[in-house]
């Protein structure tokens, strides 16, 4: 299954729910900034992430923004993102088959 980069940003109004969203995203990607993650996911993992996040938020109050940033390619892939200031370098991830 082809892996893709996703940029995930969240705006969660409650501290407890925000912590739960943060902890959930740690299992799927790397933190870029306080409420922004970069995730390398295959289609199954994307569905799992969406389901997990869906359980953690209040849909009337909270928002999670997911952007497809393109395919993961090569041995040490990085998303094609422009940086102003300090660039982010992803942690190497291994894929278990």
Which pLDDT band, with edges at 50, 70 and 90, does 70 fall under?
confident
Is the residue at 47 inside a domain? yes
Q: Percentage of residues in the chain with pLDDT exceeding 90?
A: 63
Is the residue at 25 inside a domain? yes
Q: In whole numbers, what is the pLDDT of the chain averaged over residues? A: 85
Average pLDDT over residues 35-39: 93
Is the residue at 90 inside a domain? no
Which pLDDT band, with edges at 50, 70 and 90, does 95 fall under?
low
**3-class secondary-structure state, position 91:** coil
- Which residue range forms the structural domain that includes residue 29? 4-71
Instruction: Name the domain count of the chain.
Output: 1
Query: What global pTM score does this model have?
Result: 0.79
CATH number for position 20: 3.30.70.240
Q: How far is CA 92 from CA 18, 56, 74, in A?
A: 26, 27, 12
- Answer yes or no: is pLDDT of 25 > 90: yes
């Amino acid at each position: 299954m082809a892996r893709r980069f996703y940029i995930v940003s969240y705006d969660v109004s409650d501290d407890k729910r925000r912590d739960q969203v943060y902890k959930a995203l740690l299992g799927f990607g790397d933190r870029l900034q306080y409420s922004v993650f970069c995730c390398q996911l295959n289609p199954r993992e994307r569905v799992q992430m969406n389901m997990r996040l869906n359980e953690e938020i209040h849909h009337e109050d909270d928002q999670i923004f997911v952007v497809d940033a393109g395919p993961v390619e090569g041995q040490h892939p990085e998303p094609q993102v422009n940086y102003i200031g300090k660039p982010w370098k992803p942690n190497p991830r291994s894929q278990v088959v």
